[in-house]
Chains A and B, each alone.
Chain A
Amino acid sequence: MTEPVDHPAARALAERHRLRIWEAIPWLLALGFFFAFPKHLGFGTELLVTVLFAISLDLVLGYAGIVTLGQAAFFGAGAYTVGILAKQGIWHEPITGLLLAALVAAAVGFGSGLVLLRTQGLTLLMLTLCTMALLEEAANLAHDYTGGFDGLDSLPIAPLFGRFEFNPLYPTTQYLYVLAVLFVCFVFVRMLVYSPFGQSLRGIRENMLRMHAVGAPVRGRLVLCYTLSAAIAGVAGGIWAQANAYVNLGTLGLDRAATVLIILVLGGHGRLYGAFIGAVAYISLSHFLARIYPTAWQLGLGLLLVVIALFARNGILGIAAALRRPAHRAAS
């Protein structure tokens, strides 16, 4: 055991994964929302599911640096797992249903990741896009099981713990259920990205060649990361299907994949809480603006994306960090 080095850099490194007080804020706000806006819990549930989905994307995009346009493939895989099992009368229990959704999505992620992650850049982008389009087309074709274009509605989902019903009009159960699942998944992802595994993902993102050179199993790590991310996206899809008692082809579409990408980038990728900020900003804005001025909303969103891509590469949290940094430098 060597002496602990008391150096600012050493301290910063050692304290990097320490829980900070402000990390409680999103959860307190989410709980506060439950009591403050009992009439808007449907909206809140949608928001929390989106956060979960965006976190799954953050793992592959923000930490491993895999640019994918096909993350909705896993969301849809999870959603259809829950939907088909419930509709066929095979499985109604929500929590185990989510585990099954995660398993199916992880299998899809593992299978596709194993082959897709051999490629890079544009080819990878195209392949993720095509995989998702293929799944969407398959779901459209398997009309007997998936309901085709119309989707499956009125899914019979059993009450949570056999007691709490999923009431579509008063989604109190849904809200708390999604919040709890989001919390569990978030804690898992937080542990993951601060683990040696997470650090090696960052290494791969920053310099893949160097990671190869130091003997890191780059492909294996990427496939594992892709699979875990797919599982979480599957949970998000499954819980979305349970909360809405409904699945349709939109869960697999390019729209959903692009939206979650926008949300994550808006909030800031590769920093865990970007998913929260982005989802809140995007969903609230779209909830109020998109219904009244859909075209102006699209115009504004496009402008925002262009501005982010050109000037603010790390989203809202990136801007906040950039604003803080000069202040630090001036102080020291």
Chain B
Amino acid sequence: MTFGVDVASMLLGGVAAGMVLFIVSVGLSVTMGLMGFVNLAHGGFAMLGGYAIALAMRHWGFGFVSALVFGFVLTAAVSAVLERVLYARLYGADELDQVLFTIGLVFMMIASVTLLVGPENQPLALPSFLRGQLDLGILQYRAYSVVLIAVGVVIVAALWLGFERTRLGAQIRAAVDNRRMAESLGINIARLFTITFAFGSGMAALGGGLGAEFLGLDPQYALKYLVYFLIVVAVGGLGRVTGVFYAALLIGVLDFALKKYVPQGGTAFIYALTILLLLWRPQGLFGARAT
């Protein structure tokens, strides 16, 4: 019985972490798949969004939910401007230039936040209805994790619907699969890029705020978790929303379980697994085989 409860609580924690990973990484996957752009600054947008959310709650009297919306909108707007002004110049450029540009951008984000807000961790106070424990029948669990899972499920469902059932989603899928063909059909790729980029960064901001409770929130956030986001995207496949979802859950649960049962060396296992997986399927678990 206790073992069952153990496993259940581990699964809950892992799935909650996986949801945050998904919310942050999904934008990265779509922009990388759509534009073939190596965006190492994606964690930076999550960090900026997290800061916007934390500051809005502490200083400007926002509630948790309205602060999340605020962070989403602000980060999406900022990233849309950056995309139009700077990113767009490097579409189709060497990977090296894209890597350098986005590393530079991350450095600037980290330094600006350190200068403006300070280097210390920003605590994010959860509203009272999200604190405490929730009785789930077989076990008591942190209410926040349960809510996170619920929110994650709603977001996945909404994204799936948006991706599979709307005109915009169909355009994005078409552009990921065959950009030239999509362009010939008259899809405005530049506009599509800006919209998805802004939306993806907004999602990252949301993830930054939602995950701050257990990932923390300091300027180094932008680089600290970047490898995780990249692993999720690489494992899930570029431009695959459902793929990223499964990959995020897998990595979230694995990481949670490994940290608990193998506190030493758990991370090494995830790296090794990622290497093997990418060698076996370079396009990721759920990606289409490149033609």
Interface residues of A (CB under 8 A from B): 61, 67, 69, 115, 118-119, 121-123, 125-127, 129-131, 133-134, 137-138, 141, 254, 258, 261-262, 265, 269, 295-296, 298-299, 301-310, 313
Contact = CB atoms under 8 A, between A and B. Distances in A.
Given A134-B268, A295-B111, A302-B106, A126 B230 contact: yes
Contact of A122 (B32, B101, B115, B223): B32
Contact of A133 (B97, B99, B227, B282): B227
Nearest to A123: B282
A296 B223 CA distance: 18
Given A122-B95, A298-B107, A301-B107, A309 B100 contact: yes
8 contacts: A67-B99, A122-B36, A126-B230, A301-B107, A302-B103, A302-B106, A302-B108, A310-B90
Given A123-B234, A126-B274, A304-B104, A296 B227 contact: no
A130 B196 CA distance: 27
Contacts of A299: 107-108, 111-112, 115
Given A67-B96, A127-B275, A141 B103 contact: no
Nearest to B266: A137
B51 to A, nearest CB: 15
B110 interface: yes
A305 B103 contact: yes
Contacts, number: 126
Interface residues of B, number: 45
Contact of A310 (B101, B103, B110, B223): B101
A121 B103 CA distance: 17
B101 A61 contact: no
Given A129-B227, A306-B101, A308-B100, 8 more contacts: A67-B99, A126-B230, A130-B278, A296-B115, A301-B107, A302-B106, A302-B109, A303-B108
Contacts of B95: 67, 121-122, 125
Interface in B105-136: 105-112, 114-115
B271 interface: yes
Nearest to B37: A122
